[in-house]
Amino acid sequence: MSAQPDTTPAAAPSTTPEPGTPHRVVIIGSGFGGLFATKALDAPGVAVTMLGRTSHHLFQPLLYQVATGILSEGVIAPTTRDVLARQANASVLLGEVTEIDLTARQVTATAVGQATTYSYDSLIVAAGADQSWFGNDSFAEFAPGMKTIDDALELRGRIYGAFEMAEVAAASGRDEVIDRLLTFVVVGAGPTGVEMAGQLAELSKRTLAREFRHIDPSRARIVLLDAADTVLTSFGPRLSERTARDLTKLGIEVRLGAKVVDVDAEGLVVEERDGSQERIEATTKVWAAGVQANPLTRQLAAQTGATLDRSGRISVNPDLSLPGHPEVYAVGDLTAIDGVPGVAQGAIQGGRHAADQILRRLRGEETGQPFRYFDKGSMATISRFRAVMKRDKIELTGYPAWVAWLAVHLFYIIGFKSQIQTLMHWAVSFVGQDRSERTVTEQQVLARLALEYLGEDFLRTSLRKVPGAQPDPAPETMTPGSAP
């Protein structure tokens, strides 16, 4: 059932549709919350429109494997359209939501310069979170985050590019720049930072070890920094200490209580607890610290009176609806709920709960049941054959935790095709020592910054050259799910 143009004004808000008219659910975001909510809404009498900023569903936990050349981007980011192909009541539309009007029950989304307004009966906002540089957005230029496929590909280009540049420098006798080129700093010692640092160590010591003629890649210096005093703090002291030990054994410098106070093209400055500062010369920096909820939460808060926390996450009612709007739910990383961490399971379970509330209302059943999060545990890999895992009081380390990590991640990757491909890529990297996805291009590395430097005017002008794009049109109004 696809969305059809509707030039009439939005229908009066109602959660009880006219007989024969499907209940229109708009879902913002094709991540874990959005996708699992959509799947849970596969029911008669419901028409779901999923609006996504990208046309894919991204399995963020494996982004670092794309960045380090183990997996291809297609494996962890299947198109949402493909994933939902068999769900006839789900329509997938590309668009970045820029405006939510809770009174009119409409959202406006822009795709390739074209703004479109969609009316809904129920709304699920699952737009996730973005990277945060803790108020120092200028750091992003030189220390990219890792939240999107673009980020991962840019990092892949920067990482492999640094080895290439070091080889060229060594071949041409410019030895003074080699140490800087072969120093990699990962900021943030949570699961993402630990996994990234571990892979950089494996890459330099195993994968690239015999391929260069002028440099020794295994000499690469890998530094993992965090302002906190422990790595993997949320895993508790035992696993945290074990991880720090394992990282050190891999040759990674773990520097804790060290806050990054400046970043530039050639390095960064860290401040220790005693206030002393040190500069680390490093061409490649990876920012794996901090998230900021999607800015749409500000609009929702302004219209409902819900509060935002320091990371911009919105408070919700116990059933995940927004104050005064039982037809609007917020789920996943953009919500602040006590005891629910910003992990995939929080979003998956939240998305399913919101969908369940909508279906209950449509069946005339009681609603308002509080969302109960079931903690399935946390895990992080350190390197090949080493991981840590925690579930309640059960703590696993080493090989058993690594096997559990493989199994869980394989299970949650969306689609059989992706699962098979992932297994094959893992065999190449973990049984052998190669990586099958090492292609990098100049555009991967430069495109983000080029677009930022060129600015909005460039985007508007270039959109005119894209077939079908309309850079400055008036918004069109669509009624998702209406009968053709």
Ligand X SMILES: Cc1cc2nc3c(=O)[nH]c(=O)nc-3n(C[C@H](O)[C@H](O)[C@H](O)COP(=O)(O)OP(=O)(O)OC[C@H]3O[C@@H](n4cnc5c(N)ncnc54)[C@H](O)[C@@H]3O)c2cc1C
Note the residues at the interface with ligand X (CB under 6 A).
28-34, 51-54, 60-61, 63, 96-97, 126-128, 146-147, 191-192, 294, 296, 332-333, 342-345, 347
| Two tokens, residue 303 | 């219209």
Q: Which is nearer to ligand X, 94 or 182 (CB)?
A: 94
| DSSP H stretches of helix in 333-436 | 344-362, 398-412, 416-426
Distance CA 29, CA 96 (A): 9
28 vs 445 by CB, closer to ligand X: 28
The nearer residue to ligand X, 217 or 346, going by C-beta atoms, is 346
When the beta carbons of 223 and 340 are compared against ligand X, the nearer one is 340
The closest of 45, 117, 42 to 85, measured between CA atoms, is 42
Confirm if 195 and 250 have CB atoms less than 8 A apart: no
The minimum distance between CB 347 and ligand X, in angstroms, equals 3
| Residue among 35, 106, 61 at smallest CA distance from 354 | 35
Which CB, 70 or 215, lies closer to ligand X?
70
Residue nearest to ligand X (CB): 31
The answer to whether the CB of 383 falls within 8 A of the CB of 197 is: no
Question: Shortest distance, CB of residue 242 to ligand X, whole angstroms?
Answer: 18
> Rounded distance, CA 224 to CA 66, Å?
19
Among residues 167 and 437, whose Cβ is nearest to ligand X? 437
Least gap, CB of 34 to ligand X (angstroms): 6
CB of 197 to ligand X, least distance (A): 13
* Least distance between ligand X and beta carbon 373 (Å): 12
| Edge-to-edge strand ranges of the sheet holding 325-330 | 90-94, 46-52, 23-28, 122-125, 325-330, 321-322
Q: How many residues does the chain have?
A: 484
Measure the CA–CA gap between 222 and 476, rounded to whole angstroms. Answer: 51
Amino acid at 399: Y
User: Residues 231, 419: contact at Cβ < 8 Å?
Assistant: no
First to last CA, the chain: 8
The distance of closest approach from Cβ of residue 266 to ligand X in the complex, given in angstroms and rounded to an integer, is 25
Report, in Å, the least distance between residue 331 CB and ligand X. 7
Q: Which of 73, 154, 167, 195 is catalytic?
A: 195
Given the complex with ligand X, which of 80 and 183 has the nearer CB atom?
A: 80
**CB 11, min distance to ligand X, A:** 23
Sign, CA dihedral 338-341-345-348, equals positive
C-beta atoms surrounding 268 within 10 Å:
22
Instruction: Look up residue 287 and give its two tokens.
Output: 């920012």
Q: Which residues pair with 260 in a beta bridge?
A: 270
Tokens of 291: 């998230």
Q: What is the nearest approach in angstroms of ligand X to the Cβ of residue 351?
A: 7
**The one-letter amino acid at 414:** I
Q: Tokens 């969609």 belong to which residue?
A: 118
| β-strands 90-94, 183-187 pairing | unpaired
CA distance 329 to 108: 17
The partner residues of 398 in beta bridges, in order of sequence, read: 387
66/215 with CB nearer ligand X: 66
Instruction: Please say which residue, 36 or 217, places its beta carbon nearer to ligand X.
Output: 36
Catalytic, 195? Answer: yes
Tokens of 181: 């080129």
185, 221 Cβ separation under 8 angstroms: no
Catalytic positions: 195
